[in-house]
Structure 1
Amino acid sequence: MNATGARRRYMFLHGLRWLPTGLIIPILVLLPLDRGLTLAQVGAAGVAQGLIVLMLELPTGGLADAIGRRPVLLAAGVVNLASFGLLAVAGSLPLFAAVFALQGIYRALDSGPLDAWYVDAALAADPEADIESGLSRGGAVAGVAIAGGALASGGLVALDPLPGVNPLAVPVLAGLAVQVVALVAVAALLTEVRPARGARALAASVREVPGTIRAAFGLLRRSRILTALVAVELFWGFGMITFETLLPVRLTEVVDDADTAAALLGPAGSAAWLASAAGAALVPLASRRIGAPWTGATLRVLQGATVVGMALLAGPAGVLAAYLLCYVVHGAANPVHMGLLHRQVDGPYRTTVLSLNSMMAQPAGALGLLVLTALADATSVSTAMLVGAGVLAAAAPLYLVARRPAPPRPAAREKDAVGLST
């Protein structure tokens, strides 16, 4: 297998990985509501996913390094099959909590091994392989797969092709079928040659996890810029609940019918992911003009404003227009944030800090899910969205910390200890 073959397999497997996610995004909140749960109960059940990802993200990365990427991805696929199967029949709070818990295990297992396999396979075939281009194309494929899945989900709900099956459950069954195909594809296409490493290597990897976590937090203590950037993820994770979880409920309020809302969210979700890609493509223009810190701060305020629009605009057209603008900003904000983060870390500490940055969104998202859904039940969905919008915008000043370099420090000792470029 040459580098081009590795890239093609990676893109194909990446698309299959994200297609089931696109299929269930429009109905993941509406289905439990339709089966009798309150919005606060959906939020409480969803907390399990964020907490489990938080606990397992670093250990599962070590597991993939110890025993191989292929077995970990196969295990992830089996767990995802179980979560889809349970989602198709769940009708109570404990069962939906189990669905979200399984999704948390799946996401932790699935986070990273496919990208790592592609990089290893491409560089083994050609040390000069353009892996950045392959990873970028994988991101584009993921966006298209999610968009296509969301569009198909809305069509399936609208067509209601299975008599006797709740229309909101049909995309779940479609996602289950795609996951079976994805599992077979991973088994057939993801080949790796690894030295025999047994229980001893696995145990050693597990023992290293506490030290890795301590090192990551040590980096935060030594860099105020890095601390500020990672703190942005806390606000971002909390505020994303507004457009990932509450938007379907808000749209249901506007159109006064869950099935109609789900049918609208299919094409809207598809357009949102395409809008996200457009935002990512356009943001370098703003960064070059006003600088990355000011761009990041501006985008945080703009995203808060789009959420205010979703909360207050009347009619489905207004709500969905604000939703699409929100995703334009969302797609633009991520590369700005990651670019600033990369500039603060050197060498072997890069992966640890990026993992920590990703992990910060999990407890924040879990807290946002719990707080904002409970607030929506107690007051209104619009009120909860306005609170989330304020939290998103409140992160803006944290980007401005990166405008100035950190004060001078004992360079040799500090840089040798933590690998920071600040």
Structure 2
Amino acid sequence: MATLSVHQVRHRYLILLGLRWLPVGLLVPVFVLLMQERGLTLAEIGMAFAAQGVLVLALELPTAGLADAVGRRPVLVLAAVVNLASVALFVVADSFALLVAVWALQGVYRALDSGPLESWFVDSTLAADPEAEYERGLSQGGTAVGVAMAAGALLSGGLVAFGPVGPFSALTMPIVAIVVLQVVGLVALLALLRERRPTAGSSALRESIAEAPRMIGQAMGLLRRSRVLLALLSVELFWGFGMVTFEALLPVRLAEVLGDADRAGALLGPATMVAWLANAGGAAATPLLTRRLGAAPAAALLRIAQGVTVVGMALLAGPVGVLVAFVVCYVVHGASNPLHMGLVHRQVDGPYRTSVVSLNSMVSMPAGAAGGIVLGLVADRAGVSVAMLVGAVVLVIAAPLYLPAWRASRDGSPAPVGAPTAAASPEPPEPATQPDTSAPVSGQPGVPPARDGDPTTGAGAARR
């Protein structure tokens, strides 16, 4: 199999990333309103959604270790099949138990999907050119996610406005469209994602699977050796909790302001489209932010800014004020994701990249589940605005956790944490790096030097 060029890898990565997030764009504006239409309270929606977080917590690291051991392609294919089953069930799920099952399957999917595509892109880029700066592709990935989400949201709003068709309500129509798009995405994944791995029979496959727990343990060991990585992953605890405000509570807040859930659902389509285009613009602006401020200081300031935008959503009167704050929130979100994931990627080298990316996602998903339950209860008892204010405070609390990464960049720490390459690694073994307590990447084989002014960008929206 011929090696793909850097351009080919980037092109395929952006196509697959867009197809992965286009269906999410259809889902985000309507999923809470649809669950309310089917009789669930906000607290029950939070509990159903928590099933996703619990499954991610249980499976994130095993599936990441499996992807590092047996390959990213088979794990991504399995993820796509599970997601298709989940969305198909969502079309007909009309009870609390079935909706819990929907989100439990989503948890399995998110655990399988978190990390392999991004890791495939980074490793395939470096295999094509060890001197390539993969940050450019990761930044473009953030923009692609924003555009795909925007297109999906616009389509979602159009389908809701079009109205019910046959047995499907207006709010169910976007879910039906997602089923079709998931089939298209699965076909594209099988056609475009190529991975160079050793030829493996059944015994070699069993050995690779058995290798997964060791790779997980090595990835966990990175947290003990790197204060920077530990702090960055801790950011996700607060970020995951606070994101419930604009991912789940904003549609309810808008319906409250408008006094009509269907009208809110139709309006959220174009509004979310604008928000995700703004998100893409924020992602594209990350190189400028890193040149002016440095990656870690910019990331910290954006955590504070996002909290302020959530306060605006909670307190501004009228739909225009709420939606303006919503759009600005997504500008900040789009810039934050690449900065954060760039900082995470620069703390790890070797074959454990997927496991570390999944560790980052693992802590955010249970935090989001907790946020759904806690903020849902607060919303039911004290009002949606109060719940959003609580979430805003939690978002701001994460800002100081970027200080270790900022200090490390100023100190010029020499190397990322890493571990010896596993036998089943897709690329030839790299020299092992020494444990490091606070190190960004600098001077490692195949990784660009870390400078505070460099655009440390990533596709962190893939875990949102």
Structures share a fold, TM > 0.5?
Answer: yes
Q: Distance in 1 between matches of 2:26 and 2:152?
A: 4
More helix by share: 1
Check if 1:160 corresponds to 2:177.
Answer: no
- Which residue identity is paired with 1:56? L
Matched, 1:281 2:281: no
The residue that corresponds to 2:239 in the other structure is: 236
Q: 1:119 to 1:227 in 2, by over 3 A?
A: closer
User: What CA distance in whole angstroms lies between the structure 2 residues aligned with 1:346 and 1:200?
Assistant: 28
1:140-219 to 2 correspondences below 5 Å: 140-160=143-163, 162-192=165-195, 194-219=197-222
The one of 312, 324, 336 aligned to 2:339: 336
Is 1:72 aligned to residue 75 of structure 2? yes
Q: Which residue of 2 aligns with 1:311?
A: 314
| Matched-pair identity in % | 61
> Could you tell me how far apart the structure 2 residues matched to 1:124 and 1:346 are?
14
Contact kept? 1:345, 1:419, Cα under 8 Å: no
Aligned twin of 2:460: none
Distance in 1, Cα, partners of 2:315 & 2:301: 21
Q: 1:286: how far off?
A: 4.0
1:40 aligns with 2:43: yes
The 8 Å contact of residues 47 and 372 in structure 2, kept in 1 or not, is answered as: yes
Alpha-carbon deviation of 1:101? 0.9
Cα gap change, 1:138/1:171 in structure 2, threshold over 3 Å: closer, same or farther? same
CA distance in 2, matches of 1:347, 1:117: 13
2:107 aligned partner: 104
Letter in 1 for 2:27: I
Q: Does 1:404 align with 2:421?
A: no
Deviates more, 1:185-194 or 1:272-281: 185-194
Query: Is the contact made by 2:278 and 2:331 (CA closer than 8 Å) also made in structure 1?
Result: yes
Deviations 1:303-346 (CA, angstroms, capped at 9, x unpaired): 11111111111111010111111111112222332344445445
Deviations 1:190-233 (A, max 9, x none): 45564442444444444444444444443333443333222111
Aligned to 1:298: 301
Contact 1:76 1:110 in 2 (8 A): yes
Offset from partner CA, 1:80-120 (integer Å, 9 cap, x none): 22111111111111100111011111222223333445556
Q: Which amino acid aligns with 1:366?
A: A
Q: Which residue of 1 aligns with 2:224?
A: 221
RMSD: 2.9
1:276 aligned partner, one-letter code: N
- 2:72 and 2:354 mapped to 1: Cα distance? 17
The one-letter code matched in structure 1 to 2:152 is G
**Amino acid across the alignment from 1:311:** A
Q: Tell me which residue corresponds to 1:270.
A: 273
Q: Which residue of 2 aligns with 1:418?
A: 435
2:16 matches 1:17:
no
C-alpha displacement of 1:272: 1.2
Check whether the contact 1:154–1:263 (CA below 8 A) recurs between aligned residues: yes
- Residue 95 to residue 61, structure 1, CA distance change in 2 (3 Å): same
Once the two structures are superposed, what CA deviation does each residue of 1:246-305 show, in whole Å capped at 9, x if it has no partner? 111111101111111111111111111111222233344444444444323322221111
Query: 1:84 is matched with which residue?
Result: 87
Q: Distance in 2 between matches of 1:193 and 1:332?
A: 33
Aligned residue identity for 1:46: F
Moved more, 394-403 or 38-47: 394-403
Aligned to 1:37, the other structure's residue is in SS state: coil
1:358 aligns with: 361
Structure 2 partner of 1:62: 65
Between stretches 195-204 and 168-177, larger displacement belongs to 195-204
8 Å Cα contact 2:25/2:151 also seen in 1: yes
Distance 2:269 2:152 in 1: 8
Query: Do 1:59 and 1:206's aligned partners in 2 also have CA atoms closer than 8 Å?
Result: no
Helix, strand or coil at the partner of 2:357: helix
Letter in 2 for 1:304: G
Q: CA distance change for structure 1 residues 187 and 99 in 2, over 3 Å: closer, same or farther?
A: same
- In the comparison of the two structures, how many residue pairs are matched? 418
* Partners of 1:245 and 1:361 in 2: CA distance: 15
Q: Structure 2: how far apart are the matches of 1:190 and 1:223?
A: 32
Helix, strand or coil: the match of 2:94? Answer: coil
Task: Please tell me whether the aligned partners of residues 69 and 212 of structure 2 are also in contact (alpha carbons under 8 angstroms).
Answer: no
Gap runs ≥5 in structure 2: 419-432, 440-464
Aligned partner of residue 148 in structure 2, secondary structure: helix
1:384 and 2:379 are equivalent in the alignment: no
User: What CA distance in whole angstroms lies between the structure 1 residues aligned with 2:137 and 2:111?
Assistant: 23
Q: Is the 8 A contact 1:346 1:421 kept in 2?
A: no
Cα pair distance change 1:328/1:360, threshold 3 Å: same
Q: Which residue of 2 aligns with 1:373?
A: 376
Moved more, 19-28 or 396-405: 396-405
Structure 1 range deviating more: 21-30 or 154-163: 154-163
Q: In 2, distance between residues paired with 1:205 and 1:366? A: 32
Rounded Cα–Cα distance in structure 2 between residues aligned with 1:379 and 1:123: 52
Matches within 5 A, 1:113-124: 113-118=116-121
Change (3 A) 1:125 1:279: closer
Distance in 1 between residues matched to 2:197 and 2:399, nearest whole Å: 45
Where 1:305 maps in the other structure, the secondary structure is: helix
Whether contact under 8 Å (1:349, 1:418) holds in the other structure is no
Q: Equivalents in 2 of 1:143, 1:205: separation in Å? A: 35
User: Which range moved further: 295-304 or 123-132?
Assistant: 123-132
Pick closer, same or farther for the CA change 1:400–1:122 going to 2, 3 Å.
closer
CA spacing shift, 1:285–1:18, aligned 2, 3 Å: closer
What amino acid is the match of 1:365? Answer: G
Which of residues 80, 89, 93 is equivalent to 2:96? 93
CA distance in structure 2 between the partners assigned to 1:132 and 1:403 by the alignment: 19
Q: Which amino acid aligns with 2:102?
A: V
| Conserved? CA contact 1:311–1:382, under 8 Å | yes
Q: Does structure 2 retain, via aligned residues, the 8 Å contact 1:61–1:109?
A: yes
